[in-house]
A and B are shown apart, each in its own frame.
Chain A
Amino acid sequence: MTLFLDVVSTAAILFIVAAGLLAIFGVLKIINFAHGAWLTIGAYCAVVVSGFGLNPWLAIPFAFLIGAILGGVAERFIVRPLYRRPLDAILATWGLGIVIGQLITLWFGRDVQFTPALLPGTFDLFGAGYSAYRLFAIVAAIALGLGFTLLLDGTRLGLSARAVIMNETLARGLGIDTEKVRLTTFMIGTGLAALAGVLLAPLTSVDPNMGVAWLTGAFMLVMVAGSSFGALAVACLIFGAAQVLVSIYFSPILGGITVAVLCAITLRIRPKGFARA
């Protein structure tokens, strides 16, 4: 039972980390290599909230807001001029990530920081105690997945985003303001990255480069998933399970690179990954 929960909660954490990156990739067709920096921004939002002695749960909306606002600024002034040059956009977001990391270092220093547990203790499940916070991560991932499904299938913004994903030229031909859709999506994606940073913070330490370690796995998962949240969930479950098993039965160090290696092998065999088309 514990092994099963380890697999599911690891998949949930991977899904939370990669969801914002996938939202941006799906609509904008660029990889936001500053995604790791936004995770870090979110984690430092948790540090700030706890520093002020506020309820640590307040860090979640605070980080989403800060992440979305900064994402809006980055989209308008850095990413938007480079939509037609995706390679340059990748380099620009990579550079932006480095700048953000340095600014965080200037502001908060290099020291590792810790945030208070959002949900301490264990929860009894089928007779076995399991980390309440990791169980919360599973619930959070499911809520995030359902939220995205609702957003994509139940709102005008979601319909417009799906139209832009499928055929941007036609979407423009129907009068959809694709610039607005891109801006909103980028803000949602960066907001979610910051939110993921808050949720990661109690599981790890917070430092100016903490996001970089998560970026590689998230990037590979998005490459495998294409632009489908369903495919992302499946990829997180499969590769998350592999990560847990390799960590337990072989080595945690090997476990750390399992997701990236298996994603690379998957893409070698099946270049379109888990995407249908």
Chain B
Amino acid sequence: MADTFKLKLSGVSSGYGAVDVVNGVSLAIRPGEIFALMGKNGMGKTTLLKTILGFLRGKGTIEVDGAVIADRKPAELIASGIGYAPQELPLFQDLSIRDNLRLALKGDRDLASALERVYGYFPFLKDRLAQKAGTLSGGEQKMLILARALMLRPKLLLIDEISEGLQPSVVQNIAKALRDEREKRGTTILLVEQNLDFALSVADRWAILKLGAIEDESPNGPDSRSRVLQHLKI
């Protein structure tokens, strides 16, 4: 019997206009796996996430649970259980924390239970629901972004450089939330990162993206750090 993958990319290429930023990427991530995709700036990591979510159209095949998801709108993909924690302009700064979290759900019916669940990961949210998101510190904003992505109980979670610019204690908080979410719900996570310590602290497998193509890929093991450093050194 063929392996079943939560997310499978086969020869995916995409970019902006005539220029391909992602060039023939093939990846397969198993259910419940945390997969770290690392690489320097401008290598196509964010572009690949946007292509998976349908914001960019490209070539190749993208499958979720064995079903091809080409030509589906981002709204449909997210409603089908793909969570997304974006790096660029990730919050509605003038909306309250509560409204930012509400927007992750289609309606308010499950709001109370979803809020209780994310309070478990990030308790500070509970007492500050009315506060505007733009007034939170950088680390708190990142935790809110992740909390919002978790509101929908995603089966597949795509996270874009969540640890960027954060102090170690906040990064540890986020790492714990990701591990817990995987343990409790079997959530599959594709983590795009440049912080290799954080990525390797949670990932089961990793890959390096260089100039839009996979340069190296491996299960996370004792030699991962040195191998990744080799790829990421300037």
A-to-B contact residues, CB < 8 Å: 156, 159-160, 162-163, 166-167, 169-178
Binds A, one of B9-17, B91-99, B116-124: B91-99
- The bracket for how many chain B residues form the interface is 20 to 34
Binds A, one of B57-65, B73-81, B195-203, B225-233: B73-81
* B74 touches which of A156, A162, A167, A173 (Cβ 8 Å): A173
Interface of chain B, helix or strand or loop or mixed? loop
> In the complex, are the beta carbons of B78 and A174 less than 8 A apart?
yes
Given contacts A156-B108, A159-B99, A159-B103, contact A172 B74 (CB under 8 A): yes
Binds A, one of B37-45, B82-90, B176-184, B210-218: B82-90
Given contacts A173-B53, A175-B75, A177-B75, contact A167 B99 (CB under 8 A): no
Is B107 on the interface with A (CB-CB < 8 A)? yes
Is B48 on the interface with A (CB-CB < 8 A)? no
B-to-A contact residues, CB < 8 Å: 53, 55, 74-79, 84, 86, 89-95, 99, 102-104, 106-108, 148, 152
> In the complex, are the beta carbons of A176 and B89 less than 8 A apart?
no
> In the assembled complex, which residues on chain B have CB atoms less than 8 Å from the CB atom of A177?
75
> In the assembled complex, which residues on chain A have CB atoms less than 8 Å from the CB atom of B95?
159, 162-163, 166
Closest Cβ of chain B to A229, distance in Å, is 15
- Can you show 7 pairs from A to B with CB atoms below 8 A apart? A159-B102, A159-B103, A172-B55, A172-B75, A173-B55, A173-B86, A175-B104
Interface of chain A, helix or strand or loop or mixed? helix
A170 to B79, CA, bound (A): 15
> In the complex, are the beta carbons of A160 and B92 less than 8 A apart?
no
> In the assembled complex, which residues on chain A have CB atoms less than 8 Å from the CB atom of B107?
156
> In the complex, are the beta carbons of B99 and A170 less than 8 A apart?
no
> In the assembled complex, which residues on chain A have CB atoms less than 8 Å from the CB atom of B53?
173
> In the assembled complex, which residues on chain A have CB atoms less than 8 Å from the CB atom of B106?
175
* B89 touches which of A159, A160, A169 (Cβ 8 Å): A169
A176 to B53, CA, bound (A): 13
Which 8 pairs, one residue from A and one from B, show the smallest C-beta to C-beta distance?
Answer: A175-B78, A175-B75, A177-B75, A166-B92, A175-B79, A174-B103, A172-B74, A163-B103
> In the assembled complex, which residues on chain B have CB atoms less than 8 Å from the CB atom of A169?
55, 89
A28 to B225, CA, bound (A): 48
